[in-house]
Amino acid sequence: MMDLPESLRSVRALIFDFDGVIVDTEWAIFQTWSELFARHDVELKLETYAQCVGSDHDAWDPKAHLEELCGYALDWDAVLPEKHAASRRLMAGQGVMDGVVEWLDAAQCAGLPVAVASSSSHEWVHGWLTKLELRERFVSLSCRDHVERIKPAPDLFLHAAAQLEVDPAAALVIEDSANGTAAAHAAGMRVVAVPNRVTAHQDFSKAWRRVGSLAELTLADALEPVGR
């Protein structure tokens, strides 16, 4: 284990969001929703759709929004399987997002345990991490199956901190969405925000740092203000 620089000593663990942070799944999902809206001659604005990113359709429901715009009900049992299949085809070739592996390597060298806290299902997150040969890099996965409330509630991050056996204030979160950032902030955690093309317009004023990509800076550089 390497000696921690002064800037890292107040941080005891890292907690990653999954969708949009480790793998860029969110753009494909938005694209297929947008295409579905277009087939019904209505527009899905990115800013409108992004309300549910990092959370679920209780935060904002694209199905209800589409029916409201087009003025009639849809047979979702027929529509959704086709839409989900289209999303999976677009995601099929996705790899790990830039900088993630380097951050995981740096955390390992620094002796910092790492977890995932995701509003997606355990099956989804575990399946992707296994496919990407990253599952063993994470001590635990905290997913929607494990808590009563998902983001923007703090439950997922508090669950992750408990699994890592660290005080929430000693965990640093990597997030891409306003819902996730609000959840981490409510849990008493600091956030490095890494917005993507779906969430770049959102408010990240509660984040500790904001970067365009994890590849832009090292873990130590990202944490430089921590503990000052």
- Among candidate residues 3, 17, 41, 167, the one labeled active-site is 17
- CA atoms in the 13 A half-sphere facing the CB of 33: 23
Q: At residue 138, what is the residue type? A: F
Spatial neighbors of 181 by CB under 8 A, at least 6 apart, are 173, 175, 191, 193, 204, 206, 207
The residues pairing with 174 across neighbouring beta strands, listed in sequence order, are 16, 192
DSSP H helices in 17-111: 26-39, 46-49, 62-70, 76-91, 100-110
Catalytic site residue from 19, 24, 155, 176: 19
17 catalytically annotated? yes
Nearest to 220 by CA among 100, 106, 112, 109: 106
The reply to whether 19 belongs to the active site is: yes
User: Which residues belong to the active site?
Assistant: 17, 19
